[in-house]
Amino acid sequence: MKQLPWIVVLILSLGSVVYAQEASLAHPLYLGLGAGLDLPGSNWDPNYLVGGGVEAFAGYSLDRNWAAQLGLEEWIFTGAGKSLFNFRLMAEAKYTFDGQGWQPYLLAGPGLVFQALSPSGDSTCNFDALAGLGAQFDLAPQTKFFIEVKYNFILPETGSYQDVPADLGFSVGL
């Protein structure tokens, strides 16, 4: 009889794990919002030491591991009386490794970056690509906290620019 409470707890916890896995596949759409810092890499103006920004994304889980995401990001850099605004539209493939309570994941994909320089008003539009990794932590069924780092490649007609955005946030299943 002393084992009965532990058996009930075990059955309920196994049931919640199965429910969380079934719920994530039954409701494959999710939304996310994050914020963080962006470290400029090669070929950037040396006056830009660090940028800040936000991202919003919508995703669709194809199965337990694979998902497709469409993300919008805005990163702002300032220095020497100038500001650079990077607005990115990214299509990302996400592979999530299995895990209990938390899951590491990989990201990769192409996109476009629209850049505007203030106060001059100069602007450009270039292709963009990223590779990244992160971890997500289960807060509740369909609700996750994430932290991620991406290596971003801006691809103008000549040369390339790299930067490293790192952010954290939440995603919620619909």
Segments making up each domain of the chain, as ranges: 4-173
Give the DSSP H or E segment for 39.
strand 29-40
- For residues 106 and 94, give the distance between their C-alpha atoms in angstroms, rounded to a whole number: 6
DSSP tally for the chain: helices H, then strands E: 1, 8
- For residues 84 and 57, give the distance between their C-alpha atoms in angstroms, rounded to a whole number: 22
**pLDDT of 26:** 72
pTM of the model: 0.82
What does CATH list as the number for 4-173?
2.40.160.20
Secondary structure of residue 24 in the 3-state scheme = helix
Per-residue pLDDT of the chain (174 residues; tens, 9 = 90+): 455 445 444 454 444 444 444 444 678 999 999 999 999 998 898 999 999 999 999 999 999 999 999 999 999 999 999 999 999 999 999 999 999 999 999 999 999 999 999 999 899 999 999 999 999 999 998 999 999 999 999 999 888 899 999 999 999 999
CA-angle at 79, arms to 77 and 82, nearest 5°: 80
**pLDDT of 16:** 41
